Amino acid sequence: MIVRRARIEEWLERFKSAPVRFLMAPPGFGKTMALLDYLRHRATNGYYCALAAGATKEAVWSELAGVLAEDAGFASQEELLRGLAARAPLELAIDCAAVPGADGIAAILRLVEEVPEGVSLLIACRSRAAFQVRDLVSRGLASLCDAERLAFCADEIRHLAETCGVRFAHVDVVRILELTEGWPLVVSGAICKAAEDNCSLHEAFGNWRTRRGHFLNEFIAAVLAEVPEEHAGLVYKLMAGSQPDDLHQLQALEEQGLFVIHTADGYRALRALSRSNLYRRYTSALPASPMQVRLFGWFEADIEGRPIQWVRRRDREIFQYIALKSGGIASRSEIGEAFWPGVEKHLVAQSLRTACSNIRKAIACVVGFDQVGTYFRTGHSDVSIDPENVVVDVKRFIAHANDGDEQYDRGELEAALVHYRLAEGLRTGSLLIGHPSGSWAALHAANLEQRHLTVLERLSEISADRQRVLWSDARFATGA
């Protein structure tokens, strides 16, 4: 089942002006899929190259020559640089699922330092130490998409559960996020297994660990077979529930991408790594209930069925505007242009402050002021909603429509049908019926109408194909 991660694609697109974008995380965090999806959907002239473990500089040159269709090959770094410059502008993804050899890494790092104008690199690997990521980021030569960003968020878990037909409540989403820390390999495995066994999301993790946990152990063992014995031994101790005597050992594992992450509390192993942490009692405070926002049809925003009563129409429209934005975030200047075009900046700033204050008051009437930041936030230069806790029907519609399109293009029509049906079920009418808005909403409405037409056409097409197949099978069975 294909589930696009638009959040990651958008991040990679936003930083494409950087000489290099690193995707650095332990194995199983979806680095390869992120690269392929970005190149397929966002890059205009993209190339993908996968390198083997221990790859030498000659292997790097050879693989890059192959993907760039350079028949004569590259015999030196200088030839590689000239070949890239001749094909610019382009985006080149180098996927190091396992760490290349020392001179292979040196060739890639030299490429980073001397990358031709118009060439942007994407490099995926588990080891940030091998590629000197800290220094490159500090020097402004690189942007880093790390394990924290690559991990599934609550909204992506909800989307995957919906797609797979797994029953869930909001607390179940937060619980599995807590248990797995969003490790994509574990999250997707648990949800897909729950779909197979008709389990709810509440049961998904325990069910998967009992029935498929050995797959995770085998996956980890395959990774550890290629690393120094000292590091492998330490990871096995962590899997057994032991803690290292020296915390610097955990830092070393994190730098090598070996199932250790860095948090505000320091370095620690991923929770799913050790059975001793898998089934701990879920004792954290209950999470905030999500705000449900319906932009299709008549606009509604409520928390646990309690509707938000807006102070003014303008406050409500600004909230709608932000809810429609990608990532749920809009700059203050952008909002000013949309709602107060041509007005002096200091007056716009004052009006927006008043609107934001009113939005906070409206939400506080339902949950209290101490909980407002869970849903709505104001920064120095932007205003945002939290996509983890604000569930927007339009966003869910777009996500399922995008996934359906991808499955359709692959010829996987049954899988596409699932996504298209979910998308169709979310659209309960045209955008923002009964709430006249400015031109900012008109473009969204037109785009959504077109997407809906595509969904309906493909639902009809796939259903007709299924009927033809059933009719043909029936004729064959009866000998007609």
In a domain, 251, yes or no: yes
419 and 354 assigned to the same domain: no
Query: Which of the listed residues 132, 150, 168 is the one where a domain comes to its end?
Result: 150
CATH code, 400:
1.20.58
25 and 123 assigned to the same domain: yes
366 and 422 assigned to the same domain: no
193 and 251 assigned to the same domain: yes
What value does the mean pLDDT of the chain take? 90
Question: How high is the pLDDT of residue 279?
Answer: 37
381 and 404 assigned to the same domain: no
Cα-trace Rg, the chain: 25
255 and 324 assigned to the same domain: no
In a domain, 295, yes or no: no
184 and 139 assigned to the same domain: no
In a domain, 287, yes or no: no
The neighbour count for residue 235, using CB atoms within 10 Å, is 21
CATH code, 109:
3.40.50.300
78 and 109 assigned to the same domain: yes
Residue type for position 341: P
**Domain span at residue 113?**
6-150
368 and 346 assigned to the same domain: yes
Could you say which residues of the chain have pLDDT below 50?
A: 276-285
- Per-residue pLDDT tens digits for 272-292: 887 534 334 333 445 678 999
106 and 209 assigned to the same domain: no
133 and 159 assigned to the same domain: no
Question: How high is the pLDDT of residue 467?
Answer: 78
Instruction: Give the number of domains in the chain.
Output: 4
C-alpha 260/C-alpha 267 separation (Å) is: 7
CATH code, 345:
1.10.10.10
Within 13 A of 265's CA, how many CA atoms are on the CB side? 3
In a domain, 1, yes or no: no
- Per-residue pLDDT tens digits for 117-129: 999 999 999 999 9
- Per-residue pLDDT tens digits for 435-453: 666 678 888 899 999 999 9
In a domain, 414, yes or no: yes
184 and 228 assigned to the same domain: yes
In a domain, 201, yes or no: yes
In a domain, 203, yes or no: yes
Listed residue (231, 239, 161, 234) closest to 200, CA to CA: 161
In a domain, 96, yes or no: yes
The model's pTM: 0.82
